[in-house]
Structure 1
Amino acid sequence: MPEPTRHTRALVLFSGGQDSTTCLAHALARFDHVETIGFDYGQRHRVELDARLVVLRELRAAFPAWAAKLGDDHVLDLAVLGAVSETSLTRDMAFRMEANGLPNTFVPGRNLLFLTLAAALAYRRGLSVLVTGVCETDFSGYPDCRDDTMKAMQLALSLGMDQRFLIDTPLMWIDKADTWRLARELGGEALIDLVVEHTHTCYLGDREHRHDWGWGCGQCPACELRARGWAAYHGGVST
């Protein structure tokens, strides 16, 4: 097992969406070596697995300095998560709020499992930073996106693997408009254009309808959130 260099080598949880692409740019601007990991868990919007490869290709082409830092991409098969999840992201059902106050887009344990497996891979690869796009501002109430959850996971993973991991959450306290602004600060209009054209957010996997903010159905919660953020970003106000 390679010995990790403390906090200079990172693994980005990368879905190919707006948030994780912005997090990847953040990591490439900050760390010396960056790898990516994605998960196939039977999501309805499986098109994101294709989109993420396109984003990686376009990112390498548009930003040569970042390409020199960008290492291997990894995809893990997590079909078991889809098998145990009765949610609108893993089943053909309408989006709605549940009796517990959470949207049925919440996949229980998803981020906890993602981080655990990412840490296991990072341990083997000599990577000490896990970068994830979780956020308390635009998080739809998901409990596994909270800052407290991330702090608890960082402690548990560090103790359980006897290696100090850092969970980096660059989007934790910003909204979608600020996420667009962060992308512009990191990579200028070239990165904004890349996010618009190549990333995928839509929960229904729609790549047929093109909007100013990118591709998607325009109706699902993810599309609505991205569209509102785009409008606020261009309006110069916070969502």
Structure 2
Amino acid sequence: MILEKTYNASCVLCFSGGQDSTTLALWAQKAFQQVHLLGFNYAQKHAIELEQAQKIAQLLNLPLKVLDLSFLQEITLSALFANNPQKSNAPHPKNPNLPASFVPDRNALFFTLAHAYAFNLGANFVLVGVSQQDYSGYFDCRKEFLDSLQTSLNLGAFGIKEGIAFLAPFMAMSKAQEFALAQDLDGLELILEHTHTCYEGIRGVRHAYGYGCGACPACRLRQNAYAEFLNHYKQD
């Protein structure tokens, strides 16, 4: 199992300060020789996640670089942008098969920049916290997409399909299982207190599952996952 392996190598980890990427960072610290966090400011409505990302990086003693991608709101539409009042649980105006929170090609851009950063650092891996089980309807969180992008970027950078490997250890895991992994890594309280998932950027009240509005798709997913974790995985 990929989560049981250790790597005599360094990695770049796409980091948002949310549950997925923070749990991934907890695991990566144990599995890799060096971990470099890479975050993104894309004018998101929940930009508070970047403040939490900085705090978490300091708590974990990991280096964090944040790139400014705020231009995205100028060329595409998403309910996640700060300048868009649309509700995140509505259909996307350009593709009704996607939620309004979808940011076209966001993950492709994030992962491409992480690949370039890894190339520059001499890192062997790019880590991403996506899951095709709990992927909120985003097509770019699937294994098929990630494998295809890895092949294309390595062909461009090395001339062959091999080079920098993308790892998505949570691809087949649920968020309830992620809570259980955080518990095993002695990081459950870190996840509950410091990570941010809510699309609305609300952190006024801590709920059992963490902070958030409790109503947006990200909050509902996290709330349901925590309830499942309590029922099936939590250790006394």
- The TM-score with structure 2 as length reference comes to 0.89
Question: Which residue number in structure 1 is paired with residue 78 of structure 2?
Answer: 87
Note the C-alpha offset of 1:100. Answer: 2.8
Q: CA 1:143–1:39 in 2, change beyond 3 Å: closer, same or farther?
A: same
Superposed structure 1 runs of 4+ greater than 4 Å apart: none
Question: Which residue number in structure 2 is paired with residue 32 of structure 1?
Answer: 33
Q: Retained in 1: the 8 A contact 2:14–2:21? A: yes
**Residue of structure 1 aligned with 2:117, choices 111, 116, 121:** 121
Q: Structure 2: any 5+ residue segments left out of the alignment?
A: 1-6
Note the C-alpha offset of 1:85. Answer: 2.4
Number of aligned pairs? 219
For residues 32-70 of structure 1, the C-alpha deviation after alignment (integer angstroms, 9 at most, x for no partner) is 11100000010000001100011112233xxxxxxxxx4
- The TM-score with structure 1 as length reference comes to 0.88
Note the C-alpha offset of 1:197. Answer: 0.3
1:97 equivalent to 2:91? Answer yes
Note the C-alpha offset of 1:141. Answer: 1.6
Higher relative contact order (CA 8 A, sep 6+): 1
**Residue of structure 2 aligned with 1:217, choices 213, 223, 231:** 213
Residue type of the alignment partner of 2:117: L
Q: Which moved more, 1:94-103 or 1:202-211?
A: 94-103
Residue type of the alignment partner of 1:112: A
Question: Which residue number in structure 1 is paired with residue 168 of structure 2?
Answer: 169
Q: Distance in 1 between matches of 2:8 and 2:17?
A: 24
Question: Which residue number in structure 2 is paired with residue 64 of structure 1?
Answer: none
For residues 191-234 of structure 1, the C-alpha deviation after alignment (integer angstroms, 9 at most, x for no partner) is 00000000100001001021011111111110110000000000
Residues 54-203 of structure 1 aligned to structure 2 (within 5 Å): 54-60=55-61, 70=62, 72-90=63-81, 91-95=84-88, 96-98=90-92, 100-162=96-158, 164-185=163-184, 187-188=185-186, 191-203=187-199
Note the C-alpha offset of 1:97. Answer: 2.2
Note the C-alpha offset of 1:28. Answer: 1.1
Q: Retained in 2: the 8 A contact 1:14–1:52? A: yes
| RMSD, matched Cα | 1.4
Q: Which moved more, 1:77-86 or 1:143-152?
A: 77-86
- Identity rate, percent: 38
Q: Retained in 1: the 8 A contact 2:86–2:100? A: no
Question: Which residue number in structure 1 is paired with residue 3 of structure 2?
Answer: none
Report the secondary structure of 1:25's partner residue: helix
Q: Structure 1: any 5+ residue segments left out of the alignment?
A: 1-5, 61-69
Q: Distance in 2 between matches of 1:197 and 1:132?
A: 22
Question: Which residue number in structure 1 is paired with residue 4 of structure 2?
Answer: none
